[in-house]
Amino acid sequence: MKRKNVEAETPIEDFKDVKIKKIPSVAGGSKAVLSSTQHAWKEMGAGRAIKTLMKVNQKNGFDCPGCAWPDPEDKRSAAEFCENGAKAVAEEATLKRVTPKFFQKWTIEKMSQQSDYWLGKQGRIIHPMYLAAGADYYEQISWNDAFEKIASKLHNLENANEAAFYTSGRTSNEAAFLLQLFARILGTNNLPDCSNMCHESSGMGLKQVIGIGKGTVTLEDFSHADCIVVVGQNPGTNHPRMLTALQKAARGGCQIITINPLSEVGNNRFAHPQEVGGLAGVSATPLTSLFLQVKINGDVALFKGILKAWFALDKQNNNELIAYDFIEKYTKGFDEFRSDIDSESWDTIVKESGISQEKIEQATEIIARAKKMICCWAMGLTQHKNAIANIQQVVNLLLMGGHFGREGAGACPVRGHSNVQGDRTVGITSNPAPKFLDNLTKVFNFSSPQEKGYDTVDAIEAMHAKKIKLFFSMGGNFLSATPDTNYTATALSNCELTVHVSTKLNRAHLVTGKESIILPCLGRTEQDKQNDKLQFCSVENSMGIVHKTQGLLTPASKFLRSEVWIMTSLAQKMFPDKFDWATMNNYNTIRDCIEKTIPGFDEYNKRVHQGFYLPNPVRDKCNFATTSGKAHFTIHPVPKSSLQQDQFLMMTIRSHDQYNTTIYGLSDRYRGIHNVRRVILMNKKDMQKMDLSQKAFVNITSHFENEKRVALKFMVIEYNIPEQCVATYFPEANVLVPLHHKADGSNTPASKSIVVTLERIE
C-alpha cells in the first residue's frame, strides 16, 4: 500500500520569472564555461572545483560521471570535460550533506512535497538510513543491521524470483559484475536496468542484423568520415564532447546531416570553449550541412525515402553508387529489400516523414556519394513502438554503401550513462546468453538460473502484482525514470522492502516498499580505500574501450562505502561458503574473475591502466556473427500516424539543465527557456488553431488503447517543431507514458511517441 500523502510526482511549479529568450545561434563558447564554472564553484568551492575538474577523463583520473562519449586516445587537453560534465561532477562532489539530523527533521510526506530539484540540491547522503513499516521518518541504522535486515528478507522469500535487482548505468564493471553474480547465486535473472529504457532497442536491433549489439566505430573514425548522419540525438546538451569530434570532421570537409523534429543549437554551430576564438564565440564552426526536420517518428518513412532516391540515383550513375560487391559478399536479403523499397510510394514517404521529396533527394546526393559514412543516434530512435525498425533502417542505409569494417564508417549508437555499456558486458541483463551463464557456473561453482528474468517494464508489472517482494536498486531513480509514474509508485509500494544504493536523495527514496533502506555509497570522484589500500574501478565507453577510473577526493563522509564493498558484504552475509568474498576487496580479484568469465578481457588487470578495446568482429574484420553469418537487409513497413485532428504526438526530452531525473537547474539555455520546466513546446499554427497564446496553460491527457492519463498545468511555449508534434521534459511528463506502450521486441517504453490531447485552462 502506498503511504498516505506521499507524492509520487514533483509539485507543479509556481511559474515565476519565466523568461523566453532568443535561442542562441552557437553552442559552447564562453557561456558554457561560465555556466560550468558557476555550478562547480557553487557546489564545491573554487579550489576543490579546479583540483577535481583537472582529473576528469585523464588517464590517472576518473571517468566523467556524465555521458559515455569516449576520450581522445592521444592528445588529451588539461581540461577534458564539458559544461554538462562539470555539472555532473559538481552534483556529486558538492559540499552539502543530507545528514541523519536532516532525516529527523523531514517526514517522508514533507520531503515528497518538495520538488525533484530541491531533493537533489540537499547534498550527499552520508549515513545508512532505515524506514520502518508505517514510520514517517527515516532513522539511522548501522551497516551491519542494514545487511541483516536485507539478508533476513531474502532468506524468507519463497523463491529467488521474488527479488529484483535494478542497475543504473553509472555503476562500475566491478560492482555490476558482483551485483549480477549475487542475483544469480540467489537464483534469479531479475536484473532490470536503465538500458531497458534507453538503448535496448539499439542492442537488440543491431544484434539481429549485424551480429553485435554495439556500435562499430572508434572516435578516430570521425576524423576520416566524409558524411556523418546525426539522427534523434541532441549532443549539444547530452554529449557535448561529441561536438569536438563533429567540429573536427566538419573542418575537414565532412558533411553532417541532422535528422530531428527540433533544430537543436548544438547540432548547428559550435564554438570550442578551449580555443581562443571559440571562447570569444568568434570562430564558431557550422556543423550541420543539411537539416531534415522530420516529424516525430517519421524516421522509417524518411529512411525509406532516402533508400528509394538512392536506387534511382544509382541507376542514373551507371550503378556506381551502391556497394554491390560488398552486398554480394557480406549481406543477405537484398533483392526482397529492394523490391519493398521500390513498392513504397512517395506519397506515403512524404506524408509520414513530413519531408519533401526534393529535400530527401538532396540528402541522398550526399549519402549515396559518401565513401565513408557514420550514422549516430540516441533516444530519438530508440523510444518508439517501432524502435527496432528505426535502428534496422539505419543499418540498411549503411549496408547500401558498404559502410562496415572500414575506417571512417559504421554504426554509432551514442550511449547515455557513462558505464551503461560496461554493465551489460559484465552480465547485467534479464536475458543472459547460455554461454555466459555456463562460464559463470564454472568459475563460481554454482548452478545459474536459466529462465529469463524481468526487465524494467516486466519488473514494474510484477511488483504491481505483488510477485516481487524485495526490490534492490544499484543507483538510479526507479520511480521517476520509469514510465507511468503513478502505476510504478503503486508497484514499488507493494514491495515488502525496497533498498537503494545511492549518492543523492531522490523520489524513489520516498515512494517505497513497506520498509525501505538507503545505503549511501562513494561516487566516481572519491577515493576508494579498502583495508587502507587505494582501489580503482573500470568502465566501458560508448566505443567499447575499457579503462580505469579512480577518484581523488576525500569521501563525503567516513560512513560511506563503495558499491563493491556493499555487494561483497551482502554476499558474505548471504552466501559465506560460496566464495572468499573478502578477497574481492582487492578489486584485482574481481577483474580476474571477469577475465575468466567473459571473452575479451585477457590481461584485464594489466591492460586496464592504458585502456583497451573489447573485440568487435564487425569493426575489426567485417565479420557478422548473425544466424546466417551475413549482415541482413530488413524490410519494415512505414508506421502510419493515426492521430485524430485534435491529437498530438508528444516526445519527452531532456533540458540542458538536467541529468535524467537529477535537475541541475530550471532553465534550458539552448532552447531559450528560462526558470521553468513544466512546458509544452508547440507549433505556432497548432497554437492558433487551439486559440492558445504564448505562456497559456494546458492540462495534457495521454491516450493509449482505452486508457487515459492526465498531467496538470503545463505552460505552452511557441517553438519551431513540426505541426501536430509537441515536446515536454521528462520526468515531469512520465505520468503520461503508458507502461504498455513500448517498443516491439525490446520492451523499451515508447516515451517519444505519446498520443495526447490538450485542454486549455485559465
Ligand X SMILES: Nc1nc2c(c(=O)[nH]1)N[C@H]1C(S)=C(S)[C@@H](COP(=O)(O)OP(=O)(O)OC[C@H]3O[C@@H](n4cnc5c(=O)[nH]c(N)nc54)[C@H](O)[C@@H]3O)O[C@H]1N2
Residue number with CB closer to Mo ion (120 or 273): 120
In the bound complex, what is the minimum distance in angstroms from residue 79's beta carbon to ligand X? 17
Residue number with CB closer to ligand X (170 or 184): 170
Binding region for ligand X (CB under 6 A) out of 146-154, 256-264, 354-362, 365-373 = 256-264
With CB under 5 to 8 Å by kind, the binding choice for 20 among Mo ion, ligand X, none is: none
262 forms part of the interface with ligand X (CB under 6 A) = yes
**Residue closest to Mo ion when measured from CB atoms:** 416
Residue number with CB closer to Mo ion (10 or 201): 201
Mask of contacts with ligand X, 471-500, x by CB under 6 A?
A: ---xxxxx--x-------------------
With CB under 5 to 8 Å by kind, the binding choice for 111 among Mo ion, ligand X, none is: none
Residue 697: other Cβ atoms inside 10 A: 18
CA dihedral sign of residues 171, 174, 178, 181: positive
- Interface residue with ligand X, options 234, 288, 494, 542 (CB under 6 A): 234
- Per the CB < 8 A criterion, the answer to whether 752 and 298 are in contact is no
DSSP assignment letter at 24: P
With CB under 5 to 8 Å by kind, the binding choice for 464 among Mo ion, ligand X, none is: none
Q: Which of 69, 74, 107 is nearest to 88 (CA)?
A: 69
In the bound complex, what is the minimum distance in angstroms from residue 506's beta carbon to ligand X? 4
Q: Which helix (H) or strand (E) holds 648?
A: strand 648-653
The count of chain residues that interact with ligand X, using the rule CB under 6 A, is: 60
DSSP assignment letter at 508: G
502 forms part of the interface with ligand X (CB under 6 A) = yes
In the bound complex, what is the minimum distance in angstroms from residue 419's beta carbon to ligand X? 9
Of 278-297, binders to ligand X (CB under 6 A) are 294, 296-297
Q: Which helix (H) or strand (E) holds 471?
A: strand 470-474
734 forms part of the interface with ligand X (CB under 6 A) = yes
Strand partners, 172: none
Of 558-617, binders to ligand X (CB under 6 A) are 563
In the bound complex, what is the minimum distance in angstroms from residue 616's beta carbon to ligand X? 21
Binding region for ligand X (CB under 6 A) out of 40-48, 228-236, 551-559, 712-720 = 228-236
With CB under 5 to 8 Å by kind, the binding choice for 234 among Mo ion, ligand X, none is: ligand X
- Per the CB < 8 A criterion, the answer to whether 35 and 28 are in contact is no
Of 413-472, binders to Mo ion (CB under 5 A) are 416
264 forms part of the interface with ligand X (CB under 6 A) = yes
Residue 359: other Cβ atoms inside 10 A: 18
Tell me the C-alpha distance between 566 and 561, whole Å: 7
Sequence length of the chain is: 762
DSSP assignment letter at 735: G
Tell me the C-alpha distance between 242 and 229, whole Å: 13
CA separation, residue 240 to residues 49, 185, 270, 414, 651 (Å): 20, 40, 10, 12, 21
Q: At what angle do helices 200-210 and 387-400 cross, to 10 degrees?
A: 40
The count of chain residues that interact with Mo ion, using the rule CB under 5 A, is: 2
Tell me the C-alpha distance between 29 and 52, whole Å: 22
Question: What are φ and ψ of residue 64, in 5° steps?
Answer: -60, 130
660 forms part of the interface with ligand X (CB under 6 A) = yes
> Would you list the DSSP string of 325-352?
HHHHHHEE-HHHHHHHHHHS-HHHHHHH
- Interface residue with Mo ion, options 131, 175, 198, 715 (CB under 5 A): 198
Residues 6+ apart with CB under 8 A from 332: 628, 630, 631, 632, 633
198 forms part of the interface with ligand X (CB under 6 A) = yes
* Residue ranges binding Mo ion (CB under 5 A): 198, 416
* Residue ranges binding ligand X (CB under 6 A): 66-67, 84, 168, 170, 194, 197-198, 231-234, 237-239, 259-262, 264, 294, 296-297, 299, 378-380, 383, 416-417, 474-478, 481, 501-504, 506, 521, 523-524, 563, 651-654, 658-662, 730, 733-734, 737, 751-752
